[in-house]
Amino acid sequence: MKFARKGGRPIIISGPCSAETREQTLATCKALGELGVVDILRAGIWKPRTSPDSFQGVGLDGLEWLAEARAMTGLPIAIEVATASHVEAALRFGVDVLWIGARTTVSPFAVQAIADALRGADVGVMIKNPMHPDLELWSGALERMSRAGIKNVALIHRGFSTSSAGIYRNDPLWSLAIDMKLRHKDVPMFCDPSHICGNRELIQGVAQRSADLNFDGLVLESHICPDKAWSDSRQQLTPDSLKALLDSIVWRNETCGDDPQIQLQDLRLRIDELDNELFNTLSLRMKVSEQIGELKALNGVTILQAQRWDDIMHRVMSDADRLGLSEEFLVKVLDAIHIESIAHQNKVMNR
Ligand code: PEP
Ligand code: MN
């Protein structure tokens, strides 16, 4: 199973978060097949859930239903695997694509056990980014697959657990995904807007952003009746709304890859993402300052503490070389941050 774009078109993977019943799996996959725009069907049959009381997936029964869905639609099928026994079952059923979930990518032991069980198998393997923003773990998982002789690998950007995810379920941290893409130029990169957003209203914007960044495809959760889904109901789309969403995305022309204008646009998008992260971080910093202001107010302490500020200056300046930033620039930025921070503390103290 190769992750190849057909005629330059991005690869679309869709299906329910979880296979729930035979009827739901087949009805969803049939409708997706009829759209004519889905390349691979997905469904989780073992679900890594935080609470043992949540729906844990239907297990092996789901493999039977997916095999039926494949026979009915002619489309390859993908499931999530987290253990060697999952891999063995998937290979026994001839599953075309396996994906490693975000909760598994964080564990090198688990990833290695999967790689060992897969050794030499002719399947596609997609690796989701780990839960937390750590590219080394993500790259390590990729390396473990290639050492196990898996030729068709792909990456899935599904966002990261951070304290600054804002409106998203998982923080997209685009500049990290771009960094990963640049480190592994030959490995296709998919975006999973469903798990980034957690909410179907936000999906279009994230999907468009990934198209603008020249991702190779999308993984989008869909369900014949999303509101009744047993997992991730708020982020799933009906097959019809999936089609409408895909129709609304503007896919940039891949053939002009060497055009300097396109390269310039890529770099500018990168700058925009980094600026977003920079200002989000500054905003978080000011919120922490306000908490400090509240503490100081409660304890009758002054806002300005010269020694503390000298320490901060000193610490940042001593890193100037590594950062590749001039001391003159750092002083200007730190002064601006300091003034803004004092204003925030002042606001809470004199509320
Ligand atoms: C999923 O794709 O169903 C899933 C559980 O995703 P993630 O590992 O990204 O949370
Ligand atoms: Mn899901």
Q: What is the pLDDT of residues 235-255, one digit of tens each?
A: 999 999 999 999 999 987 755
Q: What is the pTM of this model?
A: 0.79
Q: How far is the CA of 284 from the centre of ligand 1 (A)?
A: 28
Atom of ligand 1 nearest to the CA of 219: 2
Alpha helices in 229-300 (DSSP H): 239-248, 260-299
Residue 306 confidence (pLDDT): 80
Q: Mean pLDDT, the chain, as a whole number?
A: 93
Binned at pLDDT 50, 70 and 90, residue 260 comes out as confident
More confident residue, 266 or 288: 288
Residue 58 confidence (pLDDT): 97
Residue 230 confidence (pLDDT): 96
Q: How far is the CA of 232 from the centre of ligand 2 (A)?
A: 5
Residue 304 confidence (pLDDT): 74
More confident residue, 34 or 309: 34
pLDDT exceeds 70 at position 256: no
**pLDDT, tens digit (0-9, with 9 covering 90-100), for 128-148:** 999 999 999 999 999 999 999
Residue 143 confidence (pLDDT): 98
Residue 137: closest CA among 117, 119, 155: 155
Residue 268 confidence (pLDDT): 86
* Cα(154)–Cα(118) distance, integer angstroms: 15
**63 burial type by CB count under 10 A (0-12 exposed, 13-18 middle, 19+ buried):** buried
Q: Quick one: average pLDDT of 322-328?
A: 93
Q: Could you give the 3-state DSSP secondary structure of residue 100?
A: strand
Residue 257 confidence (pLDDT): 56
* Cα(116)–Cα(53) distance, integer angstroms: 31
User: Alpha carbon of 94 to those of 44, 69, 91, 118, 329: distances in Å?
Assistant: 16, 13, 5, 12, 58
**Residue ranges with CB less than 5 Å from ion ligand 2:** 17, 232
Residue 160: closest CA among 168, 172, 174, 178: 172
Q: Could you give the 3-state DSSP secondary structure of residue 81?
A: strand
Residue 19: closest CA among 70, 60, 73: 60
- CB atoms under 10 Å from CB of 16, counted, come to 27
Phi and psi torsions of 54, nearest 5°: -80, 165
pLDDT exceeds 90 at position 286: yes
Q: Quick one: average pLDDT of 341-348?
A: 90
Residue 258 confidence (pLDDT): 62
* Cα(4)–Cα(59) distance, integer angstroms: 29
Ligand 1: lining residues by beta carbon, under 6 Å: 17, 44, 80, 101-103, 128, 158, 195
Residue 95 confidence (pLDDT): 98
Q: How far is the CA of 43 from the centre of ligand 1 (A)?
A: 10
Element (H, E) at 41: strand 40-42
Q: Which of 70-79, 107-116, 159-168 comes out lowest in average pLDDT? A: 159-168
Q: Quick one: average pLDDT of 199-213?
A: 95
Residue 44 confidence (pLDDT): 98
Atom of ligand 1 nearest to the CA of 48: 5
Report the DSSP pairing between strands 77-81 and 97-100: parallel
Q: Whose CA is nearest to atom 6 of ligand 1?
A: 101
Binned at pLDDT 50, 70 and 90, residue 9 comes out as confident
* Cα(126)–Cα(170) distance, integer angstroms: 19
Q: Which of 179-188, 265-274, 324-333 comes out lowest in average pLDDT? A: 265-274
Which of 66, 192, 197, 220 to mutate for ligand 1's pocket (most ligand atoms within 8 Å of CB)? 192
Q: How many CA atoms, within 13 angstroms, populate the side-chain half-sphere of residue 288? A: 10
Q: What is the dihedral of CA 44, 48, 52, 57, to 10 degrees?
A: 10
Which of 17, 41, 99 to mutate for ligand 1's pocket (most ligand atoms within 8 Å of CB)? 17
Atom of ligand 1 nearest to the CA of 99: 2
Q: How far is the CA of 51 from the centre of ligand 2 (A)?
A: 15
Residue 255 confidence (pLDDT): 57
Binned at pLDDT 50, 70 and 90, residue 34 comes out as very high
Which of 20, 41, 58, 80 to mutate for ligand 1's pocket (most ligand atoms within 8 Å of CB)? 80
pLDDT exceeds 80 at position 303: no
Which of 158, 161, 206 to mutate for ligand 1's pocket (most ligand atoms within 8 Å of CB)? 158
% of the chain exceeding 90 in pLDDT? 78
* Cα(219)–Cα(314) distance, integer angstroms: 46
